[in-house]
Amino acid sequence: MTHPRLPMPVLLATLLAASPAIAQGPEEESPARAPTAQEILDASPDSDWREPDPENTLYMELEGGRVVIELAPGFAPEHVDNIRTLAREGFWDGLSIYRAQDNFVVQFGDPAAEGEDRKPLGSARESLPAEFERAGAGLDFVPLPDVDGWAHQAGFVDGFPAARAADGTTWLAHCYGMVGAGRGMAPDSSNGSELYVVIGQAPRQLDRNITTVGRVIDGIELLSATPRGPEPMGFYEDPSRRIPIRSVRLASEVPAHERTGLELLRTDSATFAAATEARRNRSDDWYHVPAGHIDLCNVPLPAREH
Amino acid sequence: MTHPRLPMPVLLATLLAASPAIAQGPEEESPARAPTAQEILDASPDSDWREPDPENTLYMELEGGRVVIELAPGFAPEHVDNIRTLAREGFWDGLSIYRAQDNFVVQFGDPAAEGEDRKPLGSARESLPAEFERAGAGLDFVPLPDVDGWAHQAGFVDGFPAARAADGTTWLAHCYGMVGAGRGMAPDSSNGSELYVVIGQAPRQLDRNITTVGRVIDGIELLSATPRGPEPMGFYEDPSRRIPIRSVRLASEVPAHERTGLELLRTDSATFAAATEARRNRSDDWYHVPAGHIDLCNVPLPAREH
């Protein structure tokens, strides 16, 4: 930290250890202790990092800045295809964030989607098949050793938190920052135009019940700090309280020099496994009782600028 | 809902089922299905509800409204005692929320607590013994049947989410909305003046490592929607960005007609057990795959006005 330290003895400064992107712990040498997660990340080879594919990356431009979403075509190919079409045709431009429900989700798209004055979807499809889960064949599933109460096994696939059943059926897990496609009662009633982002305790009960399309990889604080909506379920009836969306674009359609330079740690790398183990059993001096456990949705998915 | 329904087919309207305080699901009669959690709550006897003790209730007054915190003297008697002293003497009046770290905590108190110009603690003690956990004897621990990766067993004690070891040692769990006392490296370096509130995925790795003093029972959206701080760990170096605290008072010191009329569902009631079971295995038509599981920190702790 380059600024004067804030109050220490009564502060959470060392809770830092819970934060993925910041150097942590005391500065003194302590050769006997195991490396912290940050030290492991700092020592990682470049080959353990990847750039998200611009064809799978959405930029949502808000007044406060840019939210970056990585799409998951491996799990929701038809939704991702529709989302690409909607972005190319500027569907979300001028629409809004119209819902913020505390400890649950922020949702954006067309607040009039149900009405007669809804915005046309252009070339995009009106409804899509449910893509709640998929067969495990062909997936590189990196399991966590930790018990998961919601599934047979929890782990990661290509940078996304995921879970699977004993028969290999696999789905994306509703962790903080995950993005899904709102739907009505019918499983095939979503089209990807109305998207929600998890901003609270992981609502894993939604797993296998709705199509998850990706994950916020940068700028989630622009969504999670949205004032909660006053109406039931956090909706804003008052249009003036909705948060305007300037545009949503595929990164591939944005000039290279305007793209967000982000690299994500590969979840199938040795660095990721070691950093997760360091968080499972904290070695910095602040902790007196290492948990010996980590929950799928507590595992940081490190990102860095490049 | 008394207002026109917002877009349904592509919306999350039925995700409502994940929200504790709102009527949910389709309106049609469906006699064969099991009651929903909301229906169970609606049918509950008044005896299943309790009023929090005004001596254990804090009101934090912000420009946006009131945050209500229930203290847990059964787990942190010395911290709660100090907090009562600090509130009686107006310690927090004119201080601020000076930290908001995304998916982690909001923290308030004296941003200068470490400096020479810190606000005196008055009659309150400068440091307190660690109250990270306690013996289980004398506690009415209501266990969840669900596996918990962080502890031998998870459950509830007097309205608080808690966990315990095989030997009965019991502690409060760092679920969304829990309030703890910031500390430095030394276990006994907290005094209750600098408090944090969990606003993200439950950081259960903090369990048994820091003193948890209570839970936000109303108004958490006034904290969780705080713009995230730009400095490391979400601190605001710029005083103008901090959120001023008008006052923090014990409810017992506020005139009765100015108190927030809240009742909380007793966690040792049959209603609570039945509502939790209904959320563990959703019976409304929206869900296709009931989870058959609930995480300690996903269990709503219902409140109602009275």
Residues of A whose CB is below 8 A from B188: none
Q: Which residue of A has its CA nearest to B292?
A: A150
Region B45-65: mean pLDDT is 98
pLDDT tens for residues A133-170? 999 999 999 999 999 999 999 999 999 999 999 999 99
Is 90 exceeded by the pLDDT of residue B20? no
Q: Domain check: are A41 and A84 in the same one?
A: no
Q: What's the pLDDT score for residue B231?
A: 94
* A243 part of a folded domain: yes
Residues of B whose CB is below 8 A from A237: 3
Closest CA to A226 of A244, A249, A248: A244
Q: Domain check: are A101 and A196 in the same one?
A: yes
Chain A nearest-CA distance from B228, in A, is: 6
Residues 6 or more apart whose Cβ sits within 8 Å of residue B269: B44, B47, B48
Residue A293 carries which side chain, given as an amino acid letter? H
**How confident is residue B174, by pLDDT bands cut at 50, 70 and 90?**
very high
Q: Which residue of A has its CA nearest to B116?
A: A7
In the three-class reduction of DSSP (H, G, I as helix; E, B as strand; rest coil), residue A234 is classed as helix
Residues of A whose CB is below 8 A from B209: 286-289
Tokens 């605001």 belong to residue: B236
Residues of B whose CB is below 8 A from A175: 201
ipTM value: 0.91
Instruction: Give chain B's domain count.
Output: 1
Chain B nearest-CA distance from A247, in A, is: 20
Tokens 């609930």 belong to residue: B294
- The two three-digit tokens of residue B156, written as one number: 């509830």
pLDDT tens for residues B209-256? 999 999 999 999 999 999 999 999 999 999 999 999 999 999 999 999
Q: Which residue of B has its CA nearest to A9?
A: B184
Q: Which is more confident, B1 or B79?
A: B79
- The two three-digit tokens of residue A159, written as one number: 């940078």
Q: Domain check: are A246 and A200 in the same one?
A: yes
Query: Which residue, among B146, B198, B233, would best test binding to A if mutated, counting the most A CBs under 10 Å from its CB?
Result: B233
Region B20-39: mean pLDDT is 57
Residue B300 carries which side chain, given as an amino acid letter? P
Q: Domain check: are A84 and A45 in the same one?
A: no
Contact A250, A57 (CB under 8 A): yes
Closest CA to A10 of B211, B233, B229, B254: B211
**How confident is residue B8, by pLDDT bands cut at 50, 70 and 90?**
very low
* A160 part of a folded domain: no
Q: What's the pLDDT score for residue A284?
A: 85
Q: Domain check: are A184 and A229 in the same one?
A: yes
Q: What's the pLDDT score for residue A11?
A: 40
Residues of A whose CB is below 8 A from B22: 232-233
Is 90 exceeded by the pLDDT of residue B206? yes
Q: Domain check: are A184 and A296 in the same one?
A: no
**How confident is residue B306, by pLDDT bands cut at 50, 70 and 90?**
confident
Partner-chain residue, chosen from B10, B282, B290, that has the shortest CB–CB distance to A183 = B10
Q: Which is more confident, B86 or B2?
A: B86
Q: What's the pLDDT score for residue A283?
A: 84
**How confident is residue B33, by pLDDT bands cut at 50, 70 and 90?**
confident
Contact A175, A199 (CB under 8 A): no
pLDDT tens for residues A88-142? 999 999 999 999 999 999 999 999 998 899 999 999 999 999 999 999 999 999 9
* Residue range(s) defining the domain that contains residue A198: 54-114+127-134+169-257
CA quadruple A298, A305, A40, A23: dihedral sign:
negative
Contact between chains at B104 and A15 (C-beta distance less than 8 A)? yes
Q: What's the pLDDT score for residue A15?
A: 40
* A164 part of a folded domain: no
Contact between chains at A22 and B279 (C-beta distance less than 8 A)? no
Q: How high does pLDDT run on average in chain B?
A: 90
Q: What's the pLDDT score for residue B15?
A: 40
Chain A nearest-CA distance from B2, in A, is: 10
Q: What's the pLDDT score for residue B31?
A: 52
Q: What's the pLDDT score for residue A32?
A: 65
Contact between chains at B231 and A3 (C-beta distance less than 8 A)? yes
**How confident is residue B6, by pLDDT bands cut at 50, 70 and 90?**
very low
In the three-class reduction of DSSP (H, G, I as helix; E, B as strand; rest coil), residue A54 is classed as helix
* B176 part of a folded domain: yes
In the three-class reduction of DSSP (H, G, I as helix; E, B as strand; rest coil), residue A204 is classed as helix
Instruction: Give the whole-number percent of chain A exceeding pLDDT 70.
Output: 90
- The two three-digit tokens of residue B32, written as one number: 């064969």
The three state secondary structure string of chain B is CCCCCCCCCCCCHHHHHHCCCCCCCCCCCCCCCCCCHHHHHHCCCHHHEECCCHHHEEEEEECCEEEEEEECCCCCHHHHHHHHHHHHCCCCCCCEEEEECCCCEEEEECCCCCCCCCCCCCCCCCCCCCCCCECCCCCCEEECCCCCCCCCEEEEECCEEEEECCCCCEEECCCCCEEEECCCCCCCCCCCCCEEEECCCCCHHHCCCCEEEEEEEECCHHHHCCCCCCCHHHECCCHHHCEEEEEEEEHHHCCHHHCCCEEEECCCCHHHHHHHHHHHCCCCCCCCCCCCCCCHHHCCCCEEEC
Query: Which residue, among B2, B5, B12, B204, would best test binding to A if mutated, counting the most A CBs under 10 Å from its CB?
Result: B12
Q: Which of A30-34, A122-126, B257-261 has the lowest mean pLDDT?
A: A30-34
Alpha helices for chain A (secondary structure H): 37-42, 77-88, 221-224, 270-280
Region B100-119: mean pLDDT is 95
CA A186 – CA A179 distance, rounded (Å):
19
Partner-chain residue, chosen from B100, B220, B232, that has the shortest CB–CB distance to A102 = B220
Instruction: Give the whole-number percent of chain B exceeding pLDDT 70.
Output: 90
Label the pairing between strands B262-265 and A49-50: unpaired
Contact between chains at B183 and A12 (C-beta distance less than 8 A)? yes
Q: Domain check: are A65 and A37 in the same one?
A: no
Closest CA to B262 of B176, B159, B181, B172: B159
pLDDT tens for residues A244-280? 999 999 999 999 999 999 999 999 999 999 999 999 9
* B303 part of a folded domain: no
Q: Which residue of B has its CA nearest to A285?
A: B185
Contact between chains at B149 and A150 (C-beta distance less than 8 A)? no
Q: What's the pLDDT score for residue B32?
A: 65
Contact between chains at A224 and B227 (C-beta distance less than 8 A)? no
* A208 part of a folded domain: yes
Instruction: Give the whole-number percent of chain B exceeding pLDDT 90.
Output: 86
Residues of B whose CB is below 8 A from A226: 225
Chain B nearest-CA distance from A107, in A, is: 9
* A73 part of a folded domain: yes
CB pairs under 8 A between A and B: 280
Contact between chains at B298 and A228 (C-beta distance less than 8 A)? no
Q: Domain check: are A209 and A98 in the same one?
A: yes
Contact B183, B216 (CB under 8 A): no
In the three-class reduction of DSSP (H, G, I as helix; E, B as strand; rest coil), residue A81 is classed as helix
Reduced DSSP (H G I as helix, E B as strand, rest coil) percent helix, strand, coil of chain A, to 5: 20, 25, 55
* B35 part of a folded domain: no
Q: Domain check: are A58 and A45 in the same one?
A: no
Tokens 């049918």 belong to residue: B43
Q: Domain check: are A184 and A70 in the same one?
A: yes
Where among A257, A276, A291 does a domain terminate? A257
Q: What's the pLDDT score for residue B211?
A: 98
Tokens 């894993």 belong to residue: A204
Region B85-114: mean pLDDT is 97
Continuous segment of H or E residues that includes residue A198: strand A195-198
Q: What's the pLDDT score for residue B275?
A: 97
CATH code of B222's domain:
2.40.100.10
Contact between chains at A105 and B227 (C-beta distance less than 8 A)? no
Q: What's the pLDDT score for residue A120?
A: 97
Q: What's the pLDDT score for residue A96?
A: 98
